Amino acid sequence: MMNPCKIVEGGVEYNLGKFDGKSMVYDFPKILVYLDAKGKLLFGKDFKIYDDDHKIILKLCNYFINDKEKCAEDNIDPDKGILLTGPVGCGKTTLMRLLKHLVPMQRPYCVIPARNIVFGFNHIGYKTIEDFGNGQFFCFDDLGVEPIGRHFGKDCNVMGEILLSRYEFFLETKIKTHATTNLSAKELEDMYGNRVRSRMRKLFNLVAFDKNANDKRK
């Protein structure tokens, strides 16, 4: 039987906790060792996990390993997606790209920049909204700073329409949507309107970096 607590990367086996054949007990310090190693493989040797980020990483890890008890303590609904917010450069995208590898037996999501989706809409039109509004498991990166779409002279709030479609799809299938954003709730509402904002509350758990989190790209 495959042990979900063990992951092999680069010929090295990482043991993330204990598995008794039925249930798993994860060990957070061991998870951090694995995430550091995987991060260096994905993003280069300069990747590091900062002590200041341990609290938010633990919260996200509890979500991804589906620890319902810890999620309840953090007021996180494991059936909804994650909206990860924080200032520019704090590491939101990196974490979302990294943490999906923690649970290789779960269906992976694709991390797609919201601006690229709008560029696709400008080129091929409303099929883009259909393609991203259902079906696959996505994390929309940098939500809210993308331009307004324009196809054959018609303007469209592309990501707003996609979020409405994802909400309807979520009600039918329970397939989750994740996203990252630099914007506040008020700024998101200004961008997408009250209707989309209310759907986002039902689609996402809000997980926020401290507003003073360091810019790791400097």
Residue 3: the pLDDT is 65
Kindly report, residue by residue over 126-173, the tens digit of the pLDDT. 999 999 988 789 999 999 999 999 998 899 999 999 999 999 999 999
Instruction: Give one DSSP letter per residue of 130-189, joined into a string.
Output: HHHHSSS-EEEETTT-SPPEEETTEEE-HHHHHHHHHHHHHHHH---EEEEESS-HHHHH
pLDDT cut 70: percent of the chain above it:
97
Q: How far is CA 91 from the centre of its chain?
A: 12
Q: Classify 79-208 by CATH class.
A: alpha beta
Nearest to 178 by CA among 148, 142, 209: 142
Query: How does residue 11 score in pLDDT terms, banded at 50, 70 and 90?
Result: confident
For tokens 């996180």, name the residue. Answer: 76
Residue 186 has pLDDT above 80, yes or no: yes
For residues 84-97, average pLDDT:
94
For residues 17-35, average pLDDT:
86
Residue 13 has pLDDT above 60, yes or no: yes
The partner residues of 206 in beta bridges, in order of sequence, read 83
